[in-house]
Amino acid sequence: MPSLITETLSRAERLQTLSELSVQFRDQYVYPETGQLLFDTLQEWSLLEPETASPATEWCTSLTQRLRTLVPDKHLRVFAQVTQNVPEPAVHAGVQRVEHLEQGIALLELNAFSGLEQARPLLDAAMALVKPARALIVDLRKNGGGSGETVTYLCSFLLEPDLHLQSFYRRNTPEQSKTHTLQDIPYRDLEKPVVVLTSQRTASAAEECAYNLQAAGRATLIGETTAGAAHTVDIISLNEKVGAFIPSGHPISPYTGGHWERTGVQPDLAVPADEALTVALEHLKVKTARGVQ
């Protein structure tokens, strides 16, 4: 594990951090009114900082918890910077399991959406393995998110080309960006019945994947309502010791006009997460027996 640049923050360092963070929230947070609330609150909290030094990691963790109590945004985070602030890549680019189950039903378990350069060859191989199946289960129950580009790539296997998936609003940016399914994909399957498994741990980019496939009418969601973390973020350095995730935008579905922040993605069949696979198998057995999606 990389070591922290510093173990403690002096009162002066904490006050500088709170001042810079408050300005970032005021000027960049996705909703201006909430950004102003965060600015005002941090200005008040700075008056209460004790004189003694504070452990950097503990102080950042506590501040994050207090901020999320004020504004329940799961992408909002303050963190102690480290000497090598590069997360370890997900094992197998997040492709945890590929298996053919009973009656021609295949299972693809994804525990992360790694960057597309890393994930593409593994997703290509996984999707090639499930291609002969009569139905597909995509298990996102342990997936906390990752790359939106990789989500678009996976969705492109299951949806028609050049399909509008999401628009993205970003504060202080006049034009929305958009994502579309790709033209160039190893193969495309528009017929196979698809189920996506979800849980309360399914978050961020994983929620985007589930939302895309559900909103397009391509998949049935089975499991629990997801985490409700839709905001896009800017990762900034407040100083050499502390950084922050500043939520600065959100998706807009062309199908619903909304997104899943705080509400989560709602399953079509709500069941406890540990029962979702069993329910999905029974659901797909009926569909494949009838020959319908």
Mutual angle of helices 148-156 and 116-130, in 10-degree steps:
20
Strands (E), 131-275: 135-139, 164-170, 177-180, 194-198, 220-223, 232-237, 242-252, 269-270
Residue range(s) of every CATH 3.30.750.44 domain in the chain:
1-86+229-248
Spatial CA neighbour of 46 closest among 16, 71, 89: 16
Q: What is the CA radius of gyration of the chain?
A: 21
Domain 92-224+264-290's class?
Answer: alpha beta
User: What integer pLDDT is reported at residue 86 of this predicted model?
Assistant: 54
What is the fold, at CATH topology level, of the domain defined by 1-86+229-248? Transcription Regulator spoIIAA (3.30.750)
User: What integer pLDDT is reported at residue 82 of this predicted model?
Assistant: 73
Residue range(s) of every CATH 3.90.226.10 domain in the chain:
92-224+264-290
* Residue with tokens 């709602």, as numbered in its chain: 266
Residue 95 has a CB neighbour count (10 Å cut-off) of 21
How confident is the prediction along the chain (293 residues), in pLDDT tens digits per residue? 444 445 899 999 999 999 999 999 999 999 999 999 999 999 999 999 999 999 999 999 999 999 999 999 999 999 999 744 556 677 789 999 999 999 999 999 999 999 999 999 999 999 999 999 999 999 999 999 999 999 999 999 999 999 999 999 999 998 899 999 999 999 999 999 999 999 999 999 999 999 999 999 999 999 999 999 999 999 999 999 999 999 999 999 999 999 999 999 999 999 999 999 999 999 999 988 876 54
User: What integer pLDDT is reported at residue 88 of this predicted model?
Assistant: 66
- Are the C-beta atoms of 191 and 293 separated by less than 8 Å? yes
